[in-house]
Amino acid sequence: MNGGPSGFNNAPVTKSFVIACALFTVFFGIQGRSFKLGLSYQDIFRKLSIWKLIVSVFAFSSTPELMFGLYLLYYFRVFERQIGSNKYTVFILFSIMVSLLFEVMALAILKDPTANLLTSGPYGLIFASFVPFYFDIPVSTWFRIFGVHFSNKSFVYLAGLQLLLSSWKRSLFPGICGILAGSLYHLNVLCIRRAKFPEFITSFLSRFSWSSMGNLPTAPARNLAGNVPSFTTRQVEVEVF
């Protein structure tokens, strides 16, 4: 499924986030520490390893998770193009912070000092993005393979399902926390969808994106902000076999 024009045009924040995730994952993977980045009750409440909260947002624990995760992050750049880099940065921070809060609450409730319960990676942002993907991105194509109906959105859902179940319970909990965070954003809790950063902050983020494309104008706010979709929908049905 195509998320619009190829590349990171008008999506400098997404580009920065994708590069950061790739670098963190490779760095800790080379050191053989990828599987040690997941959150546990002992890390947060006994050792107070707060650094893990930050690192776990970026670094995936395995190569398959990295591949599916980066694919989904790359596809969801469509939301940055629709609402602009400023509001998309707010969406990223809100999704990450709220999902982390839910994860810490889950660790506090389960209180298992021996288990590494939560896998690392930007699961909060990825699965929060599935909420506007479900509500705001229309289906444009239907097709059948061996009698089974699929839409052009099906493969994104399948990639998300693969990532959600990649580490079973360790990835299932962060994924659910991300969906809850995305639902709160969709419900406009605390009027979060109106929040914006000062212009000097977004200007700094654009320069920090390793690309001159950060200076290009971003697309006006659309679906994620609850406005009229920015594109028309063509319903096409294709039958294979």
Residues 6+ apart with CB under 8 A from 42: 113, 114
Residue 213 lies in a domain: no
Residue 230 lies in a domain: no
Residue 241 lies in a domain: no
The H-assigned helical ranges of 11-84 are: 12-30, 41, 51-58, 63-75, 77-83
Domain extent at residue 34 = 12-207
Total domains in the fold of the chain: 1
User: Residue 61 is which amino acid?
Assistant: S
Residues 6+ apart with CB under 8 A from 14: 8, 73, 74, 76, 77, 80, 88
CATH number, domain containing residue 169: 1.20.1540.10
Residue 235 lies in a domain: no
In a structure prediction context, what are the per-residue pLDDT tens digits for the chain, which is 241 residues long? 556 667 898 899 999 999 999 999 999 999 888 777 888 888 788 877 788 888 899 999 999 999 999 999 999 999 999 999 999 999 999 999 999 999 999 888 887 766 667 899 999 999 999 999 999 999 888 888 888 888 989 999 999 999 999 988 889 999 999 999 999 999 999 999 999 888 776 666 666 555 444 444 444 444 554 443 444 444 545 444 4
Residue 147 lies in a domain: yes
Which pair of tokens denotes residue 100? 């982390």
